């Protein structure tokens, strides 16, 4: 999908709101207030006076569907003498990440405690007719202004994400070198939005982020005794597979995902749907799950709304009565602290102090599968260009190349299944989901080897090909060896010229 990493790109924002004991500001001001007209912050409670951290991530403009022009889009803690740390990662939608940053900033989190990972290729893109501006809602204001650029471009990697989360500055490559230096009493909020596949989350720079590696880092973070509680929001296709059957319940971490382990998540505010983006926008502005939790946070008093309340509200808005354009929001991990108020993880905006928490969110009448967002953009652009122009010819060429490679991936995986499991059984074996409560694969190293073998002979999977990750997992679950996979890949893809989709150009996804 398109790679808009402010609407689709991996951003990490580490945000600190109230600092440790004695360093909290007497007032929390809105961006439009000065020291004379700022409203006084509510009296501190036993849950305030802590530093909040946030990490935000978004993918490049050519990855997803959100507020991008030629691409597609998709931690905090408050407690007495604690810091609130927010980790927000969006590899699909830079607009989502920038929007999340603005919410945390208005909530009182300090910029020095916000770490942002984003590809940063949307705002200044020549196809962005509102140069320097990014929006996440059809009538929304600019969410790009003021967003720190801690890690951008080729600095947005799985390795840097893990290093930042662990507070390991020496392991960081490039960027601001800002990391999450959380303490034992701190709370952490992570928001991650990108493309996804079974057991994997996308990154603008390969390799992808795999579930076993993520859980390992979360275990290490817990073992380091550097936080009290953590809340994680994940926007991605099949995002439930990152935690299904593998997420421990004893790490003091609560997780919600945009989709279950086997279904897509969806882009919204797209051309041709209701409500549509402004007429000059040719792509989607956000993702259903992401805009749902953020618009909920913006219209509610987070000192009164509990974690479980937002989960239920987002779950209802993200689902669809006909199950054609909706997904099932899921929850994993430690569910014992869902009664805690959201301000402990996202901060508190004084402008919402009088909100009754009964404000209904408008329904989203249209959505598009995230994997199709980049194709939607290219078609909309093609339709607008002048007939016979060289630019129109080049856009059509790009569409044909993209579609051709997608068809190649689909047919190659299908053929490999038939070669390994037989003509009749092949497709069903590759696509079969495991029982609820089981991880997508037992041998994660095998999964990564299968991906590398396939890409070496058949070309890069790309974000679209993440839809086939379950097939690679099932090859492993059925005992297929690396040698057998190589033989099948050569048989399916022998002689194929992967060209710009070669892993020698893009790197391996595993």
3-class SS letters over 445-464: HHHHHHHHHHHHHHCCCCCH
Min mean pLDDT across 51-55, 260-264, 350-354, 504-508 is at 51-55
3-state secondary structure of 63: strand
Q: Which of 99, 137, 187, 195 is catalytic?
A: 195
Are the beta carbons of 89 and 122 closer than 8 angstroms? no
Token match 């509102």: residue?
130
- Residue of higher predicted confidence among 246 and 497: 246
pLDDT score, position 127? 86
Instruction: Report helix angle 469-477 to 444-458, nearest 10.
Output: 120
Q: Is 195 a catalytic residue?
A: yes
Instruction: Tell me the pLDDT band of 325, cut-offs 50, 70 and 90.
Output: confident
Among 67-76, 193-202, 267-276, the range of highest mean pLDDT:
193-202
Distance between CA atoms of residues 109 and 122, nearest Å:
25
Are the beta carbons of 79 and 228 closer than 8 angstroms? yes
Distance between CA atoms of residues 93 and 502, nearest Å:
25
pLDDT at 48 over 90: no
Question: Which residues have a Cβ under 8 Å from the Cβ of 126 and sit 6 or more positions away?
Answer: none
- Tokens for 121, please give them: 């290729």
- Residue of higher predicted confidence among 379 and 447: 447
pLDDT score, position 10? 36
Element (H, E) at 413: helix 390-421
Are the beta carbons of 367 and 463 closer than 8 angstroms? no
pLDDT score, position 58? 66
Instruction: Tell me the pLDDT band of 114, cut-offs 50, 70 and 90.
Output: confident
Q: Is 446 a catalytic residue?
A: no
Cα 398 to Cα 313, 323, 471, distances in angstroms: 40, 32, 27
Look over the chain and give the mean of its residue pLDDT values, rounded to a whole number. 84
Q: For residue 231, list its beta bridge partners.
A: 189, 254
Element (H, E) at 150: none
Nearest to 4 by CA among 71, 74, 56: 71
Cα 259 from chain centroid? 12
- Residue of higher predicted confidence among 455 and 33: 455
C-alpha triplet 492, 495, 496: angle, nearest 5°: 75
Nearest to 287 by CA among 167, 411, 371: 371
pLDDT > 90: what percent of the chain? 62
- Tokens for 143, please give them: 């969410």
How many C-beta atoms surround the C-beta of residue 224 within 10 A? 12
pTM of the model: 0.85
Min mean pLDDT across 79-88, 285-294, 404-413 is at 79-88
pLDDT tens per residue across span 227-236: 999 999 999 9
In angstroms, what is the C-alpha Rg of the chain?
A: 22
pLDDT at 42 over 90: no
Instruction: Tell me the pLDDT band of 1, cut-offs 50, 70 and 90.
Output: very low
pLDDT score, position 111? 85
Nearest to 108 by CA among 139, 76, 140: 76
C-alpha triplet 11, 316, 14: angle, nearest 5°: 20
- Tokens for 43, please give them: 């009296």
Are the beta carbons of 21 and 84 closer than 8 angstroms? no
Distance between CA atoms of residues 323 and 492, nearest Å:
34
Min mean pLDDT across 317-326, 413-422, 443-452 is at 317-326
Are the beta carbons of 59 and 8 closer than 8 angstroms? yes
Overall average pLDDT of the 445-469 stretch: 97
pLDDT at 285 over 60: yes
C-alpha triplet 193, 132, 87: angle, nearest 5°: 25
pLDDT at 35 over 50: no
Q: Which of 237, 446, 476, 493 is catalytic?
A: 237
- Tokens for 223, please give them: 């073992």
Token match 């959201």: residue?
342
Distance between CA atoms of residues 90 and 86, nearest Å:
13
How many C-beta atoms surround the C-beta of residue 319 within 10 A? 14
**Strand 54-58, strand 187-193: pairing:** parallel
pLDDT score, position 377? 85
Are the beta carbons of 82 and 185 closer than 8 angstroms? yes
Overall average pLDDT of the 179-199 stretch: 93
Min mean pLDDT across 176-185, 319-328, 378-387, 420-429 is at 319-328
pLDDT tens per residue across span 5-34: 333 333 343 333 333 333 333 322 323 333
Overall average pLDDT of the 300-324 stretch: 87
pLDDT score, position 442? 97
125-157 residues labelled b (16+ CB within 10 A) or e (exposed):
eebbeeeeebbbbeebeebbeebbebbbbebbb
Are the beta carbons of 396 and 382 closer than 8 angstroms? yes
Distance between CA atoms of residues 233 and 250, nearest Å:
18
Overall average pLDDT of the 59-71 stretch: 38
Distance between CA atoms of residues 172 and 178, nearest Å:
9
- Residue of higher predicted confidence among 56 and 24: 56
């Amino acid at each position: 999908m398109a790679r808009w990493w402010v609407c689709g790109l991996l951003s990490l924002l580490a945000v600190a709101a109230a600092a440790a004991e004695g360093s909290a500001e007497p007032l929390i001001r809105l961006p439009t207030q000065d020291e004379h007209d700022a409203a006084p912050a509510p009296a501190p409670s036993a849950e305030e006076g802590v530093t909040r951290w946030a990490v935000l991530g978004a993918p490049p403009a050519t990855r997803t569907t959100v507020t991008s022009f030629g691409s597609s889009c998709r931690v905090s803690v408050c407690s007495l003498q604690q810091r609130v740390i927010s980790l927000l990662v969006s590899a699909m939608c830079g607009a989502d990440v920038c929007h999340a940053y603005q919410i945390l900033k208005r909530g009182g989190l300090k910029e020095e405690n916000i770490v942002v990972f984003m590809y940063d290729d949307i705002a200044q893109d020549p196809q962005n007719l509102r140069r320097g501006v990014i929006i996440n809602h059809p009538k929304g204001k600019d969410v790009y202004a003021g967003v720190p650029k801690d890690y951008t471009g080729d600095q947005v990697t799985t390795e840097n994400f893990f290093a930042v989360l662990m507070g390991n500055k020496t392991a960081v490559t490039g960027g601001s070198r800002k990391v999450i230096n959380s303490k034992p009493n701190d709370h952490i909020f992570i928001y991650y939005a990108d493309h996804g596949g079974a057991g994997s989350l996308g990154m603008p720079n390969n390799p992808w982020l795999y579930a076993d590696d993520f859980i390992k880092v979360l275990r290490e973070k817990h073992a380091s005794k550097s936080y009290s509680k953590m809340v994680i929001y994940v926007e991605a296709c099949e995002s439930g597979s990152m935690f299904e059957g593998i997420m421990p319940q004893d790490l003091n971490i609560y997780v919600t995902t945009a989709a279950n382990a086997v279904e897509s998540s969806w882009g919204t505010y797209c051309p041709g749907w209701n409500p549509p983006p402004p007429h000059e926008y040719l792509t989607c502005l956000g993702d259903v799950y992401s805009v749902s939790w953020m618009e909920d946070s913006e219209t509610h008093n987070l000192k009164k709304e509990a974690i479980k309340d937002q989960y239920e509200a987002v779950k209802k808005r993200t689902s669809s009565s006909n199950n054609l354009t909706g997904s099932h929001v899921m929850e994993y991990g430690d569910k014992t602290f869902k009664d805690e108020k959201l301000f402990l993880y996202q901060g508190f905006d004084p402008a919402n102090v009088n909100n009754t928490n009964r404000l209904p969110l408008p329904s989203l009448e249209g959505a598009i599968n995230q994997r199709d967002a980049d194709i939607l953009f290219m078609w909309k652009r093609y339709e607008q260009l002048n007939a016979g122009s060289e630019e129109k010819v080049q856009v059509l060429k790009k569409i044909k190349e993209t579609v051709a490679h997608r068809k190649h991936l689909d047919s190659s995986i299908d053929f490999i299944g038939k070669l390994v499991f037989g003509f009749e059984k092949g497709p069903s074996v590759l696509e079969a989901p495991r029982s609820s409560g089981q991880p997508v694969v037992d041998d994660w190293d095998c999964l990564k080897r299968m991906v590398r073998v396939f890409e070496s002979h058949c070309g890069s999977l790309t974000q679209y090909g993440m839809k086939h990750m379950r097939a690679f997992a099932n090859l492993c679950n059925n005992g297929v060896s690396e040698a057998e996979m190589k033989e099948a890949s050569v048989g399916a893809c022998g002689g194929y010229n992967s060209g710009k989709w070669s892993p020698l150009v893009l790197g391996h996804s595993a």
